[in-house]
């Protein structure tokens, strides 16, 4: 499965009193990596009028924590496409140390494209489907 991977920093302010990456911060690391994946796809920012597909809402987030991330460090976050539906899109995530191929966490996010006025689900554009084709299973 083709994936996009990015190095992300874990900073002092991301650590909790146990000196480990706070459980809610994983969602941010996933989302930020997803943002760079959109740019790799050639799709602009969330407010870009030329990227109508960028206007979507998060439907579900799931994270499984496998090993604590201890202390300030860099980590690798990998994102790929699990499923492309008519109005939905599911991404898979892995968070890994820099120097070992083991998972500290795995996650999944499903988003739904919505109409910016009504917030109702609306199908992805053909352009998005074309751009995603090389990334879909």
By CB under 8 A, name the binding residues for a copy of itself. 9, 11-13, 15-19, 22-25, 27-28, 31-32, 35, 45-47, 57-65, 68, 71-72, 119
Give the CA distances from residue 54 to residues 8, 82, 102, in Å, rounded to whole numbers and listed in that order.
22, 18, 31
Of 13 and 126, nearer to a copy of itself (C-beta) is 13
| Start-end of H helices in 5-136 | 25-40, 126-132
Of 111 and 128, nearer to a copy of itself (C-beta) is 111
What is the residue whose two structure tokens read 């989302």? 31
Q: How far is the CB of 130 from a copy of itself (least distance, A)?
A: 24
Of 1 and 66, nearer to a copy of itself (C-beta) is 66
Q: How far is the CB of 107 from a copy of itself (least distance, A)?
A: 9
Q: How far is the CB of 4 from a copy of itself (least distance, A)?
A: 15
Of 62 and 129, nearer to a copy of itself (C-beta) is 62
State the Cα angle at 93 between 90 and 99, rounded to 5°: 165
Give the CA distances from residue 119 to residues 50, 58, 114, in Å, rounded to whole numbers and listed in that order.
18, 12, 5
């Amino acid at each position: 499965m083709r994936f996009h991977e990015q190095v992300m920093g874990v900073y002092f302010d991301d650590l909790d009193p146990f000196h480990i990456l706070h459980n809610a911060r994983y969602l941010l690391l996933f989302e930020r990596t997803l943002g760079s994946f959109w740019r790799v796809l050639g799709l602009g920012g969330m407010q870009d009028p030329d990227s109508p597909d960028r206007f979507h809402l998060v439907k579900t987030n799931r994270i499984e924590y496998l090993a604590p991330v201890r202390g300030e460090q860099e980590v690798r976050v990998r994102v790929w496409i699990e499923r492309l539906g008519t109005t939905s899109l599911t991404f898979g995530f892995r968070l890994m140390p820099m120097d070992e191929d083991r998972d500290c966490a795995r996650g999944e996010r499903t988003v739904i494209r919505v109409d910016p006025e009504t917030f109702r689900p609306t199908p992805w554009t053909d352009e998005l489907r074309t751009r995603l084709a090389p990334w879909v299973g």
